[in-house]
Every structure is written in C-alpha cells, then in structure tokens.
Amino acid sequence: MTDNSHHRTTPSGKPRARSVGIGFNGTPGTFNAITDVPGVAVGYSTLISGDGPLVAGTGPVRTGVTAILLRPRAELATPVFAGIFSQNGNGELTGSHIVEETGAFNFPITITNTHSCGVSRDGTLRWMQRVLPEALDSAWGLPVAAETYDGFLNDINGHHVTFEHVTEALDGASSGPIEEGSVGGGTGMITFGFKAGSGTASRMVEWQGRRHAVGAFVQSNFGKRHNFTIRGTRVGPELAEPAVREGTPRAEKGSIIAVVATDAPFLPHQMKRLARRVPLGVAMTGGFGYHSSGDIFLAFSTANPAAALAPSGRMANADFIPDTDIDPFFDAVVQAVEEAILNALVANDDMTGRDGNFVPSLPKAWLSDRYGQLPKG
C-alpha cells in the first residue's frame, strides 16, 4: 500500500480503490492520474438538480461535461500524435476520422452525455476562439468530443448542457490531483449496476534511464453485475444487493470512453497500438463489450511537438521508442485503465434520479469486509 494521500483519496476526500486495500500492479505517478503526464489538465462542469418524475426540459438533471487539455493553453494548437480504437462502435467520438487519417489532432477533448456531444464539440471551438484565436484565424478545427448515455438518471432529452457549461469545464481544467466519481460527464453514469462515472489512474515506465508517465481517464458506464471482477476474482455474484431500483424500465445502453495520455515518444501507429490495449483493462473488471456498449478509446503522446507541427518544405524528425520495447507501456495501459474504472466505482455514493430511479454505490461495508480496510474520507 502507498503512503501517498493522492493515491488513496480524491481532493474532496472521497475514497479511491487503494484506500480500501485493493492492490494493483505497476508504479503509479505522483497523483495516480492522467495529470501525471506533464501539461495535461482536467476540468469538470457538474449539473445536479431536481427530483421526482421526469419533465423533459426541466429535469431531474444528473449530467455534466469533462474537459481534458492535452497541453498548456498557449500550446493547444500544437497537435499530438494519436491513435484510436473502437472495440464496439455504439457510440460517438468526433474527430475520429482525422485521427485515423493523419495520426494526430489538437484542441481539448470533451466528454459528456450522448445527446450533448455536439454542444460540447461546438463549445470547444467557441472556447478556443476566445482563449487562442490565432489557432482558428486561418484554419478550421475538428475537436474530439465523446459521449456515454446517462438517460436512466438524467433528463437526457432536456439538453441541459450548454456552451456555458463547456466553458466552465475548460476554464476550470487544472493539473495535479483530480476528482472522481459522479463529476463532469460521469455524473449520471452506471457500471456493473453501481454508481460510477469519472475515474483516472497512471503508471510510470522507465526506459533507458528516463521515466515516462502513462495516464488513463475513463467515463465508465458499462457492464452487467454478474460479470463484475476485482483483481481477477468474479465478485459480482456476491453482490446481488443492493440492486438498482427502477421507477422506469432501464434499457441496456452502457458504454465506456477511455483516454490514454503519455509523454513517452511514440509515433501514431504506436499510439493506436496503445489504444488497442485499453479493452484488456476493461476486461480485467468484467467488461465484455456487449452489443449496446459504445467502447471507444483514444491514446495520444505529448512528445515530439516540433514534429507534430512540422512546417511545410523542410524535413521533420521525430523520436520514438522502438516497437520491440513497447511491452511495458502496454502493461501500463492495462493497469491504469483497470484501476481508473475501480476508482470511478469506489469514489462514489448512491444516486437517485429521474422518476425515482436509484443506483447504489459499491457498498463500503462489503469493501471493508473483503479487503480489510475502511475507506478513507
């Protein structure tokens, strides 16, 4: 177990998976978060209001926006080498075509609910025009925006996410330790029949005397209770209760978005290889990519900024770690994604949303009995 308080609790004091005695492989970074990658920042806008029967356009509201900045604000126009992998395409990630075509993208990433994905995409362009107008003066932008479905708890057809909320998430993005659980785009999300949402973790990898960070951020909203697995043990059958309570029937509309960031120098084809390892971390928790699940994964590297922004008419050069040495980075992706999902579950509380629909949190007493430590916070 680690003595680092950031590894055990979120900034608000919510427990993380390590605080209950769950052990993990690999070495986390200082914050055990995607923000261990220098220059990466995360911000949220969280919308929670109203109770009772659904009134479309009024609520109840259980949603939000997450923003991930790839570089410091002044450098957001500089592309990052990147790759994507769609394990199951029942979902949306805008900008995916240019990532596939060029192996790079720029501008922040946003993640929200399914019916607000366009607002978060367009809101990013509005924000960039305000904070870095030269990035759009003579160019176009194709921001990355992703989504998962929160309609069991949220008035998803009420379109409560606005440009102002996107701006709030982007303006509030910071490095260092970040919140997890029912915050930002993860506010109304469910995993294995428990309250989940936003989660993060990181691993440090040493190569040729240099330490590189690999960080993962997930918006976790997938899985069936009976498949739930913690560190190789199928625990779902132990957890028939507490159960989801439905005032209105719940359709199976689960998904997971994962963003992997690293400061290790890799080329675009290698970033796609890292993105392809995300499903292995999801599977470690019991996620099997069922039909209705949108499982879409993006990986990017902040290294090689000069090569990513190479001007026309001159030779560009990029450093990269050889493919023959990439395996420890695969380990890091799988380990960080697995822990990020469990963090999203542990750092959470019960939530009641539209029509009295109720989603329990992963029981803290059960965690304490099974893993031998009371959660901190």
Residues that are catalytic: 255, 293, 295
Measured distance CA(26)–CA(207) in Å, rounded: 14
> For the chain, what's the residue count?
377
Write down the residue that tokens 């069936």 correspond to: 224
**Using CA atoms, how far apart are residues 108 and 102, in angstroms rounded to an integer?**
17
Taking a C-beta distance cutoff of 8 angstroms, is the pair 52, 358 a contact? no
Q: CA triplet 339, 292, 254: central angle to 5 degrees? A: 40
Tokens found for residue 39: 């220059």
Burial (CB count within 10 angstroms: exposed 0-12, middle 13-18, buried 19+), residue 366:
middle
8 Å CB contact between 333 and 214: yes
Q: Copy the structure tokens of residue 56.
A: 């479309």
Q: Give the 3-state secondary structure of residue 125.
A: helix
Cα 138 from Cα 132, distance rounded (Å) = 12
Tokens 């159960």 belong to which residue?
A: 243
Nearest by Cα to 257 from 121, 113, 116, 156: 113
